[in-house]
Amino acid sequence: MSRNINQPKSSPKLLDVNKLAVEFDTYGGVVHAVRDVSFSVDSGETLAIVGESGCGKSVTVQSIMGLIPMPPGRITSGSALLRGQEILGTAMIQGRDIRGSEIGMIFQDPMTSLNPTMSIGDQIAEPMQVHKGYDYRKAYSEAIKLLELTKIPESTKRAKQYPFEFSGGMLQRAMIAMAISCKPSILIADEPTTALDVTIQAQILDLLQELQRETGMAIVLITHDLGVVARLANEVAVMYAGKIVEHGSVEDIFYRSAHPYTLGLREAMPTNDPDKQSVLSPIPGSPPDLFSPPVGCGYCARCPWSMSVCESKNPEGFYLNEGHYSKCWMHHQQSPVKPIELYFEQQTHG
C-alpha cells in the first residue's frame, strides 16, 4: 500500500511549513485562500510552487513573510519553522529581523514595488542600514557593489537614478540586489520574470542560479511558467485551489506526473516535440469557489477520471517514491481507475 502523506520527516530543513491555512474576510464571505499547505526547502535548494492564478501561491509566501494585512486576512492554523524556530506572526528570531534579513523577497512587479521618489542606490542601501546597522556611506557603497553583482552596467551612475529611468529587466535586477542585500538564508521569488522578454528572462534566471551558487541560499520560486521551473528548480509543489496536490522532483513532475491537474498543466504547455500535436489542450472548466471549498477533491469537477469518492471525501496523499507524493484517490489500492497517462507506483497496481 502507498504510504500516507502524513508521516514524520527524517530531518529538519532550513524552512519547514506545516499545515498552513489562511483566510480572508470579504463582503461576500470568508475566502479560504490557503488550505492545509505543507512544504520544506533546504540551503542551496530551489523549490518551485506552481499553479494557475488564484490558487494561493503568493498568499502562502506572503503569510510566511508577515505581508498579508490582518484584518481582513488571518492565519487560522499551521506553522513555519526557520531552523526549527517558529516565525509565523513573529518579527524577529535570535535578535535578527526575519523579513529582509533572514528571508528576502523579489516581488512580482518591481515598478510598483519600488519607491518612485527614492534613487535606486538609496533603496538598496536602506535595508542594510535598518538590519545591519551600516552607516549611509557604507550601505551606499555596498549598494553599488550589489548592482555590479547583478550585472547592471555603470553601477555608480545607475545608483543615482530613479525607477522610471530603468528598463523592466534592470528594475528586476535592482529588486534582486535589494532582496539579497542582507544576505538572506532564503530568497522568495514571486514571478520574477513576469512581463520580461525571453532574453531578459533567461538572464534573470541565470543570475539567480549564480547567486545561489555563491551564497548557498535557498530559493522558493512562485510561478505558473513550467519552462522557468524546468530551468531553475530542484523540487516542485503543484498547487490547486489552495492546496498542494502533488510534490516531487523536477523529473517526477515532468516525466512521472501523478495528479490529473499536473498532467493538465503539462498538456497546456507549448512544445518543440514534432511528434506531439501542435494544438494546445486547455484544462476545461473553472477552479472551485473558495468561499465554499468542495468537500472532496478540488479538481473533481474538471478531472476526466473523477470517481464518486472524489466528490465526497478529501483525497489522502500517497507517496509514489521517496519525496514524490500525489493527493489523488486513483493511487488508492482499491481504485478501479488507473489511466495510463498518469504515473503509478508499481505496488499500487496489485
What pLDDT is stored for residue 93 in this prediction? Answer: 61
What pLDDT is stored for residue 349 in this prediction? Answer: 36
Whether the predicted pLDDT of 6 surpasses 60? no
Q: What value does the CA radius of gyration of the chain take, rounded to a whole number of Å?
A: 21
| pTM to 2 decimal places | 0.86
Whether the predicted pLDDT of 4 surpasses 70? no
Whether the predicted pLDDT of 342 surpasses 60? yes
Cell numbers linked to 13: 530543513
What pLDDT is stored for residue 92 in this prediction? Answer: 60
The mean pLDDT of 72-88, rounded to a whole number, is 89
What pLDDT is stored for residue 96 in this prediction? Answer: 64
The mean pLDDT of 242-260, rounded to a whole number, is 93
**Among 224, 251, 288, 254, CA closest to 50:** 224
**What is the rounded CA–CA span in Å between residue 88 and residue 337?**
40
Confidence of residue 144 (pLDDT cuts 50, 70, 90): very high
Confidence of residue 276 (pLDDT cuts 50, 70, 90): low
Whether the predicted pLDDT of 181 surpasses 80? yes
What pLDDT is stored for residue 91 in this prediction? Answer: 63
Confidence of residue 273 (pLDDT cuts 50, 70, 90): low
What pLDDT is stored for residue 261 in this prediction? Answer: 94
- Average the pLDDT over each of 186-190, 214-218, 235-239, 276-280 and give the range with the smallest value: 276-280
What pLDDT is stored for residue 1 in this prediction? Answer: 40
Average pLDDT across the chain, whole number: 85
Supply the DSSP string of 114-170, one letter for each residue.
S-TTS-HHHHHHHHHHHHS---HHHHHHHHHHHHHHTT-SSHHHHHTS-GGGS-HHH
What pLDDT is stored for residue 267 in this prediction? Answer: 83
- Average the pLDDT over each of 20-24, 109-113, 303-307 and give the range with the smallest value: 109-113
In the sheet with 29-41, reading across from the earlier edge strand, the strands are 29-41, 15-26, 73-82, 85-86
**Among 93, 70, 94, 71, CA closest to 80:** 93
Cell numbers linked to 335: 481504485
The mean pLDDT of 224-234, rounded to a whole number, is 86
What pLDDT is stored for residue 75 in this prediction? Answer: 92
Question: What domains can be seen in the chain, in order of their start residue?
Answer: 3-13+40-63+89-102+186-348 (3.40.50.300), 110-183 (no CATH)
What pLDDT is stored for residue 350 in this prediction? Answer: 33
Whether the predicted pLDDT of 90 surpasses 60? yes
Q: Output 188 or 183, whichever has higher pLDDT.
A: 188
Confidence of residue 348 (pLDDT cuts 50, 70, 90): very low
What pLDDT is stored for residue 226 in this prediction? Answer: 84
**What is the rounded CA–CA span in Å between residue 33 and residue 22?**
6
The mean pLDDT of 299-306, rounded to a whole number, is 92
Whether the predicted pLDDT of 187 surpasses 50? yes
The mean pLDDT of 248-273, rounded to a whole number, is 87
Say if CB 246 and CB 257 are below 8 A apart. yes
- Average the pLDDT over each of 41-55, 80-94, 117-131 and give the range with the smallest value: 80-94
Whether the predicted pLDDT of 208 surpasses 80? yes
Confidence of residue 203 (pLDDT cuts 50, 70, 90): confident
User: Per DSSP, what are the bridge partners of residue 16?
Assistant: 40, 81
What pLDDT is stored for residue 85 in this prediction? Answer: 86
**Among 343, 333, 128, 316, CA closest to 256:** 343
**What is the rounded CA–CA span in Å between residue 222 and residue 306?**
28
What pLDDT is stored for residue 317 in this prediction? Answer: 87
